[in-house]
Amino acid sequence: MPAGSRSADKRPVGDGNGKKTYCRPSWDEYFIEIAKVVSSRSTCLRRRYGAVIVKDHVIVSTGYNGAPRGSLNCIDRGVCRRQELNVPAGERYELCEAVHAEQNAIVNGAPERMKDSTIYIAGFEESGEFAEGKPCLLCKRMIQNAMIKEVVFLKKDGSLAHVEDLRSLETSPLTLGAK
């Protein structure tokens, strides 16, 4: 990314004398906002996640968490199987029908466009609060195999985390990211 691309760009607008300013979002802010919108397509009752894969400031692919194509999803069923069984967040993914947002974005995109790209991940809890966007272990592996070079995710406190060394996303089997 070019120098300074992570900070907001202040530009005068209005009458031309500089009295009014417009705060243009950084590229990271722009794409994380798009990931938030993508999450609104989620079919999960527990958490909504959206992912946007970007290369050279152009969107390569998007994805949200939900049941595989052609399968009944939690919204249609009206119940989350894991919630019914009181399964804590981040455990027993095999009981969940959903494919993660990152996985859907990778599967839906052209493989040759993934190399050296950035994936943006945003999520929301059922309550509407931010959910931790850190990829789970399986998604981390898929991100690595897709040769995506950087992960930018929305943290629970609303700030952004930037990860260029995917090894730093190492997650123990007991704390697999809460999706």
- Which residue in the block uniquely carries the two structure tokens 């243009």? 24
User: Looking at 94, 97, 102, 170, which residue is catalytic?
Assistant: 102
**Cβ(148)–Cβ(55) under 8 Å?**
no
Question: Does the annotation mark 94 as catalytic?
Answer: no
Find, among 122, 119, 113, the residue nearest to 41 by Cα: 122
Dump strand ranges (E) for the chain: 9-13, 20-24, 47-55, 58-64, 118-125, 130-131, 150-154, 160-163
| Token pair listed for 78 | 């009206």
**Cβ(49)–Cβ(42) under 8 Å?**
yes
| Residues marked as catalytic | 102
